[in-house]
Amino acid sequence: MISKRRFVLVDVFADRPLAGNPLAVFPEAEGLSSETMQALAREMDHAATAFLFPSRVPGAAFRLRIFSRDREIPSAGHPALGAHFVHATETGLPLQEPTTRVAHEGDDGLVRVELRVERGQIGLLRLTQKPPTYGPHFDNPSVTRLAEGLGLKEEQIQAANQPVQEVSTGFPVLIVPVATLSDLQAARPRYNLLRVILEGREASLVYAFTKETIAARSAAHARAFDTTGSFEIAGAGAAAGALAAYLVANAAVTVTPVTSLVIEQGHALNRPSTLFAEVRVKAMAVAQVVVGGRVIRVGEGAIEA
């Protein structure tokens, strides 16, 4: 029994309402069991649902738990950004320009988020991710199988002249380069095959990208395929961070001490998302990755059961 629980709906990484990655946030989740939160996440039917609890750690505004349709997720980008937007607006958090720094309690302690403030309003939210780790490159037979799993031809991946590689900035993803935008748009994932390919690996998300983009300012156009849930994600912050680190580490973009990148996603779902990444390089290696985007409130409601 959950009696009555209020939720707020937001769109994360969105430039306008009803775009980006939709997220339901339950701002007062205290007393909910894991089983009930999982049932609520299934009811919301989004890629993720965020639940806010009183914090047990000094310096944290709240404790965050995240559930997909079928499992709890230890960390993810868009639920964290959406949760902080809702918490700040619901509580009337005093906002200092140009940057208000906040944090929440995660599985590994404090997770810090920046709120970029413009004329008293939150304009952009940014999350610092963990230092990147890189797996080995896929060999040719593995790329052949992966192409089949994505519904592509092997040459559509090989022609990109970049490695297929598992990368993590806190959440492991498989980065897959695709030669052209039309090739990527034509991808039709076969989730059963992708699950077999990823068996024994840490990654469960396939993040396919091309450097051909719709917007001139973008460095990459990407699609995110969740192999566990068998669905595409409109905007994946953790995956965008991994891709940004990959692009800089492989010199696939112009690299400066602080490289700023725009990644576009979600167009295949008619929910265009814009993700802003910042990669700091120190001693010829990626030292820090920050990913952010806008969050737009689109509604609220309550569940009674």
Examine the domain organization and report whether 157 and 223 are in the same domain: yes
Q: Are residue 233 and residue 299 in the same domain, yes or no?
A: no
Summarize the confidence of residues 152-158 as an average pLDDT: 97
* Average pLDDT rounded to a whole number, residues 78-104: 96
Angle at 271 between CA 153 and CA 171, to 5 degrees: 70
* pLDDT for the residue 2: 62
For residue 98, say if its preceding peptide bond is cis, omega within 30 degrees of 0.
Answer: yes
| Res. 177 pLDDT band, cuts 50 70 90 | very high
Q: Which two tokens stand for residue 132?
A: 């990147």
Q: With cut-offs at 50, 70 and 90, classify the pLDDT of residue 108.
A: confident
Tens of pLDDT, residues 121-136: 999 999 999 999 999 9
Q: What is the pLDDT of residue 261?
A: 98
**227 and 285 fall within a common domain:** yes
d(CA 200, CA 69): 22
By CB atoms closer than 10 A (0-12, 13-18, 19+), residue 247 is buried
- Provide the pLDDT for residue 84: 97
- Same domain assignment for residues 80 and 202: no
| Residue 1: per-residue pLDDT | 58
Contacts of 74 (CB under 8 A, 6+ apart): 66, 106, 107
Same-domain status, 281 and 140 = yes
Model confidence band, residue 77 (pLDDT cutoffs 50, 70, 90): confident
Which residue type occupies 202? Answer: E
Query: Residues 162, 283: one domain?
Result: yes
CA 118 remoteness from chain centre: 24
* Cβ atoms of residues 49 and 29 within 8 Å: no
SS3 44: helix
Same domain as 144, residue 12: no
- What pLDDT was estimated at residue 76? 76
**Confidence class of residue 50 from pLDDT cuts 50, 70 and 90?**
very high
Evaluate if residue 259 carries a pLDDT over 70.
Answer: yes
Q: Do 89 and 214 share a domain, yes or no?
A: no
Whether the per-residue pLDDT at 73 is higher than 90: the answer is no
Residue 175 clears pLDDT 90, i.e. is over it: yes
Angle at 102 between CA 245 and CA 65, to 5 degrees: 75
> Distance between CA atoms of 91 and 27, rounded to whole angstroms?
10
pLDDT single digits (tens) 182-209: 999 999 999 999 999 999 999 999 999 9
The CATH number of the domain holding residue 259 is 3.10.310.10
Does 8 share its domain with 149?
Answer: no
Domain holding 88, by residue range, is 4-124+295-304
Paired with 53 in beta bridges are: 63
**Co-location of 49 and 167 in the same domain:** no
* Sequence-distant (≥ 6) Cβ neighbours of residue 58 within 8 angstroms: none
pLDDT greater than 90 at residue 106: no
Provide the 10 A C-beta neighbour count for residue 225: 26
Q: What's the mean pLDDT in 51-72?
A: 94
